[in-house]
Chains A and B, each alone.
Chain A
Amino acid sequence: MHSDRAPLALKIAAAAGLAFMHLPILLIFVYAFTTEDKSYQWPPPGFTTKWIGVTWERPDVWEALSLSLKVAAISTGIALVLGTLCAAAVSRTRFFGREVVSLLVILPIALPGIITGISLRSAFHLADIPFSFWTIVLGHATFCVVVVYNNAVARFRRTSGSLIEASMDLGADGFQTFRYVILPNIATALLAGGMLAFALSFDEVIVTTFTAGQQQTLPIWMLEELVRPRERPVTNVVAMMVALVTLLPILGAYYLTRGTDTVAGQGK
């Protein structure tokens, strides 16, 4: 019998790896409260909540935030529809070319973001489409589809086909079956996929730089600050805010799919 105790070296390596993944982000939360405003001095000479107030008063931050939220909300909506349709089609039947569909959905995220970005930019240029809110949404929705698709496909796979047959057998037509059986069974997966898509869109910077024109989403605003720092403390606070805003949907998605798709393979 193997022992269920891990070797010490393994424990240390695993713990060190996890620490490496988490400590840097925690640092963001410390810096958001530092009194130092000219450099990234460590340890911080003192702590203050003053910069949160300063950030609160900044109209450019508010504008960027509201644009990011709007883009994320609409892109998520589009991705939910397209991703669910794709997942339903792929899981419903074995049809010719379903592999192609899977590949097509994954491609925008499998290829480096810069390629997606520059492709869209040159396509807008060729088609004489001016940059706008909608060009940003178009790019975001394209790579958000895959997140919804992955979540939905996993859930469709677990929802056995005989449930749909059982519903039809008991007198429900296609639409009633969707309303009373399919939707309740995939709802949490869709919600989880939608939340992740939202987080992905809210955070996206690479594709956005190519599709945004003059408008600034919050990540674009941050990127500007990173390349040419103007007011470091405000950037620190915005970084913390972004970390928090993306954290919530991730945790939400985790709790929604807990014990179903995600921790698969447990309890074998």
Chain B
Amino acid sequence: MTAAVRFSGVSRHYGDVRAVDDVDLSIAEGEFFAMLGPSGSGKTTCLRLIAGFEQPTAGEVSIFGESAHGVPPYRRHVNTVFQDYALFPHLNVIDNVSYGPMIAGTPKAERHRAAEDALEMVALPGYGSRKPSELSGGQRQRVALARALINRPRVLLLDEPLGALDLKLREQMQEELKALQRKLGITFVFVTHDQGEALSMADRVAVFNAGKIVQIGAPEDVYYRPEVPFVADFVGSSNVLPPHLVAKVTGQWRHGALRPEAVRLGDAGLGADGLHATVHSTAFLGAATRVSLDLEDLSMVALLPKGARIPQPGEQVHVSWAAEDLHMMEATE
């Protein structure tokens, strides 16, 4: 099957800045694909390369097997939900939503009917005559979604679409977006810096760092089986153990990832050859207690279940874990 979007050795450089650096990527049709990374990691630039707002400095982007080289955005059947929604302030909601069909030459009555349907789909029926300035953030987001979907794009791009919403609304929209994507079967490409959002919504996640994709895979893979320390830290909030510590316990010169809940704390007298740490601080989180530890130069976090003995700050503790909980990564970054 042809990939919906394919990057072959794509780079986008601005002078000396390598926003996107030699990226290979293949997104399958119908997939809900997330691009995750800190700001400036190149994920948004990749999205803009698909939309056609940017041109690659090197390599090629293809959409459904066709080269997008030199194709302006208005000739790509790809639509975007912008981070700031980019609703046209001089048009009301119905004219915003029916902008695409209007450009395509669809008669007024017909395109307004289509816009009403699209608004219904995003649960905003009857809002057509309002101006964007009269809507709440969540409503604007839905209008932007309806406007992008009315053209029936082959790929829908979403640039941090939930960033401006409050927590509760964001969770609700996550559910709705997921359901919408399943219903329409359109390929969604979603950019976010929020790992929770990426993990809960996407079929696959690409983790970006410094212009490169450092890992790509299903959410569980990225979360439980990070391949590089950056992913362990950014996605899983895991403790990244440097090779010399891992070598002490396992004899292997590799980076290790250890989830906070897998860390076991014991009496300082235990296992004289094991690892010892000093408790820095503790925080009660409800279901668990988070213990921050200083192990040599390394700051570690342990998550202790309810009922466990909580050590005091300043206390010396013995640190251990079950062998299968330590996830081994590449030898070097």
A binding-site residues for B, Cβ under 8 Å: 160, 162-163, 165-173, 176, 180-181, 184-185
Contact = CB atoms under 8 A, between A and B. Distances in A.
Given A185-B89, A185-B90, A168 B84 contact: no
B99 A170 contact: yes
A135 to B, nearest CB: 40
B211 to A, nearest CB: 21
Interface stretch (B26-34, B72-80, B302-310): B72-80
Nearest to A162: B86
A168 B72 contact: yes
B147 interface: yes
Contacts of B53: 165, 168-169
A130 to B, nearest CB: 47
A166 B103 contact: no
Contact of B103 (A163, A165, A176, A185): A176
A82 to B, nearest CB: 25
A170 B52 CA distance: 12
A173 B102 CA distance: 13
B99 A162 contact: no
A158 B231 CA distance: 38
B80 A166 contact: yes
B88 A166 contact: yes
A171 to B, nearest CB: 5
Interface in B48-90: 51-53, 72-74, 78-80, 82-84, 86-90
A165 B86 contact: yes
Contact of A173 (B74, B99, B100, B148): B74
A129 B52 CA distance: 51
Contacts of B86: 160, 162-163, 165-166
A171 B88 contact: no
Among A162, A169, A171, max chain B CB count under 10 A is at A169
Nearest to A176: B103
4 tightest CB-CB pairs across the interface, nearest first?
A166-B86, A162-B86, A170-B100, A168-B73
A170 B151 contact: yes
Contacts of A169: 51-53, 73-74, 78-80, 148
Contacts of A165: 51, 53, 73, 80, 82, 86
Given A180-B103, A181-B88, A172 B74 contact: yes
Interface size classification for chain B: 20 to 34
A171 B103 contact: yes
B104 interface: yes
B114 to A, nearest CB: 13
A172 B82 CA distance: 16
Among A160, A167, A184, max chain B CB count under 10 A is at A167
A99 B239 CA distance: 50
Interface in B145-167: 147-148, 151
B17 to A, nearest CB: 14
A163 B53 CA distance: 12
A61 to B, nearest CB: 43
Contacts of A163: 86, 88-89
Contact of A170 (B72, B83, B89, B103): B103
A181 B151 CA distance: 18
Contacts of B102: 180
Contacts of A180: 99, 102-103
Contacts of B99: 167, 170, 172, 180
A167 B90 CA distance: 13
Interface in B93-131: 99-100, 102-104
Given A167-B99, A170-B99, A162 B72 contact: no
Contacts of A167: 88, 99
B53 to A, nearest CB: 5
A168 B74 contact: yes
15 contacts: A160-B86, A162-B84, A162-B86, A165-B86, A168-B53, A169-B52, A169-B53, A169-B148, A170-B103, A171-B74, A172-B74, A172-B103, A173-B74, A185-B88, A185-B89
Among B78, B87, B88, B104, max chain A CB count under 10 A is at B88
Contacts of B83: 162
A187 B87 CA distance: 18
Given A166-B86, A176-B74, 18 more contacts: A162-B86, A163-B88, A165-B51, A165-B73, A165-B82, A167-B99, A169-B53, A169-B148, A170-B74, A170-B151, A171-B100, A171-B103, A171-B104, A172-B74, A172-B99, A172-B103, A176-B103, A180-B99
Nearest to B147: A170
Contacts of B88: 163, 166-167, 181, 185
Contacts of B52: 168-169
Contact of B79 (A160, A170, A176, A184): A170
Contact of B84 (A160, A172, A181, A184): A160
B298 to A, nearest CB: 43
B82 A162 contact: yes
Nearest to A159: B89
Contacts of A171: 74, 100, 103-104, 151
A56 to B, nearest CB: 43
